[in-house]
Amino acid sequence: MTPAAFDVVVPTVGRPSLPRLLGALAGAAGPLPGRVVLVDDRRDAGTPLLAAEPPPRVAPRLRVVASGGRGPAAARNRGWRETDAPWVAFLDDDVVPTRDWLARLAADLAPLGPDAGASQGRVRVPPPLGRRRTDWERHVQGLERARWATADMAYRREALARVGGFDERFARAYREDADLGLRVAAAGFRLVAGTRRVRHPARPAGAWASVRLQRGNADDALMRARHGRDWRVRAGAPAGRLPRHLATTAAGIVAVAGAVAGTTAVAAAGGAAWLAGTAELAWARIAPGPRTPREVATMLATSVLLPPVASFHHGAGVVRWGAARRHARPAPPAAVLLDRDGTLVVDVPGSRDPARVALVPGAPAAVERLRRAGVALAVVSNQAGVAAGAVTPAELAAIHRRIEDLLGPLGPWMVCPHAPEDACACRKPAPGLLLAAAAALGVPPERCAVIGDTGADVAAARAAGARAILVPNAVTRREEIARAPETAPDLPTAVDRLLGAGPA
C-alpha cells in the first residue's frame, strides 16, 4: 500500500462543518490521500466554497469541482471520476474522522484482494448531553447500523467503473448508497467492514424534517423496481412503517368519505381507526425521546401528517418507477462526444487522403445504437496537422465527409487546429472542444460522455465535468489506462456501457 493508493471525495453544499472535516483529515495520522476532491453541489456556486485557506497539509492535494446542485449521487460520480487512485474513499461533509483515520483506512485497504470491492467505515453518532435523543437525532443515529453508508465508504475504482458509479436517479441522500452496494455485490465483489471510525454529529433540523424525509418513499419504490421485493433484506434496511402509514391514510379516507356520504357508522369506524393509527405513531416517537413540551408538540403535529405524506410519495414513486426494469441501469447520457483518430477511425498519422479512411471494428453498429437510443452526437478532435501544414482545412473537411459517408451524420465537428505549443483553450486535455460541443448540442456538460483513446480525452472530460470512457489501443500509454476512471476494450463495449446493455 502506497500513500497515493486512495483518494478522498467529499460531496458538499458548503456546510459549516466542512472546515472541521478538512482539519481532522489534516491532523490525522497516516498516509495522505493522493487527492482530496471537494464536489461543490450548490445550485448557485457564486461564492467561494471555503471562506478560509485549507490546512497546509491538505491544501496541495485539494481540488474543488462543481456538480451543479444535482444531488449527492451525481456529486459523488463527479468526484470519483476526478480521481485516479485504485481506491476512492467517500466522506460526508458533516463527519469528523478520528485522529488515526488515515492510518486505519490504509490498514483496512492493504490486505484486500481483487474480489473486494468496498470497505465500510464505522459511524458513531454522539449522544446529546443530559437528555435522551430527539426523534431527529434517533434518525441520524440509524447511520450507526446502516450498511454501506457513504458517510464513510471506500470503493475500489474498478468496482465503480464496472457498475457505472452511483445511479443519479436517486436525487436525495437516501438509498443511493444501498443501491450502489447491491449492484457492486451483484457484480461479484465483496463488501467488507473496516476498523476506521468517524463521528457524525446530528446537526440541527427543523420541526418538519420528519415530514420532508417522507420523500424517500419514492426512492424505495425505485429500489424495489431495480432490485426486487427482497431488496431490504439484502441491503440490511429496516422494514419501515409504510404499511402502517398506508393503513392509517386509508382509514382517514374512509372516515372522510363516510362523513361526506352521511354514513355515520362508516365515518365513525374510519375515524376511530385513523385516530388509533395516529396515536400509536405519535407515542412510538414520543416514548423514547426527551418528552419536552416542544418535542411532544412536534411529534403530535407531524404524526398527523406523516401517514398521508408518506403514502403520497410512495404512490408517486410507484407511478414513476413501477415500469422500471429490475436491475435497470442509470439513464444514458444525453450526448456522446467522440474522439476521431483511434476511436472512430484507424489512426493514420499524416494522412490527408479520404480514401485511406478506415473505421475501427464495430464503429457503424455502435454509432447507430447511439442514434436509435436518442443520444446526441458530436466529434471532438485535436488536429495539430493543420497548424503544421500537414493537412489543409479543405483536406480535413474532405476526410470528415468521408467518415460521415461511412457512419452517417455525427453532429457538430469540433476541431482544434492548433499546435501543442500554442497553449490554446480548445486543444485536449483542455475542455474547450467539449464545452463547445455541449453548447452546440444544447446539453449540459455533465450530461455528456466522452469516448476516446488517450489520457488527453479523459482529462478534457474531467475538466468539463463529463463522464469519460477510455478505449485503449496500441498507442495508449499504460499509465493512461491505469489513471482512467473507466475503460472498455472496444467502441461497441463502451457504447453498451453507456446505454446500460452490457456489464457496467
Q: All domains of the chain, ordered by start, with CATH?
A: 6-205 (3.90.550.10), 213-328 (no CATH), 335-499 (3.40.50.1000)
Measure the CA–CA gap between 398 and 364, rounded to whole angstroms: 19
User: Catalytic site residue 339?
Assistant: yes
Q: How far apart, in whole angstroms, are the C-alpha atoms of residue 366 and residue 23?
A: 48
Task: Give the pLDDT confidence of 96-111 residue by residue, as tens digits.
Answer: 999 999 999 999 999 9
For residue 341, indicate whether it is catalytic.
yes
Q: Mean pLDDT across the stretch 75-87?
A: 92
The predicted-structure confidence for 328-348, as pLDDT tens digits, reads as follows 456 689 999 999 999 999 988
Q: Is the pLDDT of residue 310 over 90?
A: yes
Mean pLDDT of the chain: 91
pLDDT on residue 501: 58
Confidence of residue 503 (pLDDT cuts 50, 70, 90): very low
Residues listed for the chain: 504
Confidence at 323, pLDDT banded by 50, 70, 90:
low
Tens digit of each residue's pLDDT (9 = 90 or more) over 132-191: 999 999 999 999 999 999 999 999 998 998 888 999 889 888 899 999 999 999 888 999
Q: Please name the residue that has the C-alpha cell 434496511.
A: 237
What is the structure's pLDDT at 330? Answer: 60
User: Can you read off the three cell numbers belonging to residue 399?
Assistant: 476526410
pLDDT at 489 (0 to 100): 94
SS3 439: helix
**Catalytic residue, candidates 84, 92, 135, 341:** 341
Answer whether 373's CB lies under 8 Å from 339's CB.
no
Asked if 10 contacts 39 with a C-beta cutoff of 8 angstroms, the reply is yes
124 Cβ neighbours under 8 A, 6+ residues apart: 144, 197, 198, 199, 200
In whole angstroms, give the CA distance from residue 370 to residue 387: 32
Residue 306 has pLDDT above 50, yes or no: yes
Cell of 1: 500500500
Weakest mean pLDDT among 65-69, 128-132, 290-294: 65-69
Greatest Cα-to-Cα distance within the chain, rounded to the nearest angstrom: 92
Read off the pLDDT of residues 185-211 as tens digits, 9 standing for 90 and up: 988 899 999 999 999 999 999 999 999
> Residue 325 above 80 pLDDT?
no
Distance CA 271, CA 269 (A): 5
pLDDT at 324 over 80: no
Among residues 40, 108, 167, 339, the one annotated as catalytic is 339
